[in-house]
Amino acid sequence: MKNILITGGSGLVGRRITTLLESKGYQVAWLSRTVQEQTYFLWDVARQELDPQAITWADAVIHLAGEGVAEKRWTADRKKRILESRTQSTQLLYTAVQQAEKKPNTFISASAIGYYGFNTGTNLMEETSSPGNDFLAEVVVAWEKEVKKIEQLPIRCILLRVGIVLDANGGALGEMLKPPVAAPLGSGDQWMSWIHIEDLARMFVFALEKTTLQGIYNAVGPHPATNQQLTHDAALAKGKHYIGLGVPGFALKFILGEMAAMVLGGNRVSSQKIQKAGFEFEFPELKKALRDIFSN
């Protein structure tokens, strides 16, 4: 495999995967609605249009595209966009691959640990665990259903259920450390299954290069942390003041609406399946991961 096509390439994770792939000698192109600094092909999900040359060029596709989940309150329109940005983009890719004379041999899609539900308590979630019944779980179930259609073409398909991505340039850490003083959310006892962005990028490349890999894998680190632990250790690593008094749940519900359930709940998710497949974490421990993130 030489040519890798990425959707959502301009995002936080997409850029890191692009850099890693190019450092290993791969040719990378993004699917984009607009002109990019990266090699690109045009697509328009709303119009269900995609440059067919993109698919015939690609030896593999990495599918990351999807509307941000935590950027705005969940109005009915917002929830519709979150769902359709994932299902319709995957449907467009399926149609394009199905019609292509030369098909990619590998399709790797992001998914999310939201599959398991907003709050699974202390239970350790594995890839065979049942899905939740809340909004995000329904989104992920529908998303994965569309990806699995591509597997029938037949093409080797891998789904990586991504946890909380730790990176200094955005994502969860940026939001947690935005207030003047860092504090846990709600009780702070809820589990957060995190992964360093470098390990996440390496996991996508691992899925690409290990040709026996197929199916669903949790993309989380081996040691989940509570919200209180993660907030405390992140504040310490950044040199920010921390107080152990949690932000009340009712206040978060007032500010965030339905989306508050996402931060007040939590998931304790297993990484054993991907590790048994041979993946080795560079940052398995939270303190080491945070030191690396904030030292850079």
Position 56 confidence tier, pLDDT thresholds 50, 70, 90: very high
Position 174 confidence tier, pLDDT thresholds 50, 70, 90: confident
Reading the block at residue 209, the tokens are 């290069």
Domain that holds residue 272: 3-295
Under a CB-based contact definition with an 8 Å cutoff, are residues 256 and 70 in contact?
no
The enclosing domain of 250 has a CATH number of: 3.40.50.720
Least confident of 131-135, 143-147, 165-169, 173-177: 173-177
Place of tokens 């009712």: 250
pTM (predicted TM-score): 0.95
Position 254 confidence tier, pLDDT thresholds 50, 70, 90: low
- Rounded to 5 degrees, what are φ and ψ at 232? -60, -50
Instruction: Give the residue, 262 or 271, on which the prediction is more confident.
Output: 271
> What is the reported pLDDT for 90?
97
Categorise residue 215: left if φ over 0, alpha if ψ from -120 to 50, beta otherwise: left
Reading the block at residue 293, the tokens are 């993130």
b/e map 216-251, b = 16+ CB within 10 Å:
bbbbbbeebbbbbbbbbbbbebbebebeeebbeeee
Instruction: Give the residue, 241 or 1, on which the prediction is more confident.
Output: 241
**Which of 172, 271, 286, 158 is CA-nearest to residue 229?**
286
> What is the reported pLDDT for 260?
75
Check pLDDT > 90 for residue 155. Answer: yes
Mean pLDDT of the residues in the chain: 93
Q: How many residues does the chain have?
A: 296
Instruction: Give the residue, 114 or 256, on which the prediction is more confident.
Output: 114
Give bridge partners of residue 196 from the DSSP assignment. Answer: 166
Check pLDDT > 70 for residue 88. Answer: yes
* pLDDT tens digits, 189-247: 999 999 999 999 999 999 999 999 999 999 999 999 999 999 999 999 999 999 988 88
Mean pLDDT of 158-166: 97
Check pLDDT > 90 for residue 258. Answer: no
Mean pLDDT of 125-147: 96
Share of the chain above pLDDT 90, in %: 79
Q: If DSSP states are collapsed to H, E and C, what string results for the chain?
A: CCEEEEECCCCHHHHHHHHHHHHCCCEEEEEECCCCCCCEEEEECCCCEECHHHHHHCCEEEECCCCCCCCCCCCHHHHHHHHHHHHHHHHHHHHHHHHCCCCCCEEEEEEEHHHHCCCCCCCEECCCCCCCCCHHHHHHHHHHHHHHHHHCCCCEEEEEEECEEEECCEEHHHHHCCCCCECCECCCCCEECEEEHHHHHHHHHHHHHCCCCCEEEEECCCCCEEHHHHHHHHHHHHCCCECCCCECHHHHHHHHHHHHHHHHCCCEECCHHHHHCCCCCCCCCHHHHHHHHHHC
Count up the domains in the chain and report the number: 1
Instruction: Give the residue, 285 or 247, on which the prediction is more confident.
Output: 285
Check pLDDT > 90 for residue 130. Answer: yes
Position 46 confidence tier, pLDDT thresholds 50, 70, 90: very high
* pLDDT tens digits, 3-41: 999 999 999 999 999 999 999 999 999 999 887 778 889
Distance CA 162, CA 129 (A): 15
> What is the reported pLDDT for 168?
87
